[in-house]
Copies of this chain bind each other. A is one copy, B any other.
Amino acid sequence: MLKRDFNIHVDDQDLLDEAFTQASYVNEHRDQNLKFYERLEFLGDAVLQLIVSEYIFTRYPKLPQGRLTRLRAAMVNEQSFSTFARECHFNKYIRLGKGEEKAGARDRDSLLCDIFESFVGALYLDQGKKVVEGFVQQVIFPKLDEGMFAEFFDHKTELQELAQEDGPVDIDYELVDEYGPENDRLFKVNVAIDHKVLGIGVGHSKKDAEQKAAQQALKHFDKREDNLV
């Protein structure tokens, strides 16, 4: 599965098993001297924090610390990690005790988040940081472009910060069109910086359209680099 989906090879199968084993399973198989995932989760959490930090630090070279911190918090949390774990089909591989299985732990966000971290911890120990970066580049980073964290990413504030970095400028949002039926109304907004239109956005609310216009305008300020440091 790892090989097929992510082109990842793991040498130490025991370590990988540990990453997917909950304490309840260990307790039911005391004769097998198994380990459960928690220590690997501790390590994986720190690995993910650093790799995500490094990526957004490099990708958004002008984003101030406070916003980097908020973006990282939006990316590194139970909700997003459990989503990633499901997308990777990690839920299939978790080893649970019978009671936990019955209680529905296999689909619990908190467990899936833990397992995502413990898997990363195991991968890091087994294959090193570069391989984890390759995995994260497939699983987490594309979500940034797909808008998964858009709600945490306030483009209007970002635009204001970037545009005014070299001194004050005029930023104006203008509603230029409104169309569609009452119950499915669409709004079109332009954003202009010093009277030059740099972005257009369409959305189901003016606020949403403004965010999208700002997002488009941001491309004029973007010094993205596509590679991890």
Q: A49-B49, A129-B129 are known contacts. Are A42 and B54 too (CB-CB below 8 A)? A: no
Report yes or no: A46 in contact with B38, Cβ–Cβ below 8 A.
no
| Bound-complex Cα distance A63 to B39 (A) | 8
Chain A binding surface SS class: helix
Q: A49-B49, A129-B129, A229-B125 are known contacts. Are A43 and B39 too (CB-CB below 8 A)? A: no
| Bound-complex Cα distance A132 to B58 (A) | 19
Report yes or no: B65 in contact with A38, Cβ–Cβ below 8 A.
yes
| Bound-complex Cα distance A39 to B71 (A) | 13
Report yes or no: B54 in contact with A46, Cβ–Cβ below 8 A.
yes
| Bound-complex Cα distance A64 to B69 (A) | 28
**Shortest Cβ gap from A39 to chain B (Å):** 5
**What is the 8 Å Cβ interface bit string for chain A, positions 128-149, against chain B (1 contact, 0 not)?**
0100000000000000000000
Residues of chain B contacted by A10 (CB below 8 angstroms): none
Report yes or no: B39 in contact with A68, Cβ–Cβ below 8 A.
yes
* Set B46, B68, B229: member contacting A42, Cβ < 8 A: B68
Minimal Cβ-Cβ distance residue in B for A43 = B57
**What is the 8 Å Cβ interface bit string for chain A, positions 212-229, against chain B (1 contact, 0 not)?**
000000000000000001
Residues of chain B contacted by A63 (CB below 8 angstroms): 39
Minimal Cβ-Cβ distance residue in B for A118 = B65
Report yes or no: A43 in contact with B38, Cβ–Cβ below 8 A.
no
Q: Is A53 an interface residue (CB 8 A)?
A: yes
Residues of chain B contacted by A64 (CB below 8 angstroms): 38-39
Q: Is A193 an interface residue (CB 8 A)?
A: no
| Bound-complex Cα distance A200 to B27 (A) | 34
Question: Which residues from chain A sit less than 8 Å from chain B, CB to CB?
Answer: 38-39, 41-43, 45-47, 49-50, 53-54, 57, 63-65, 68-69, 125, 129, 229
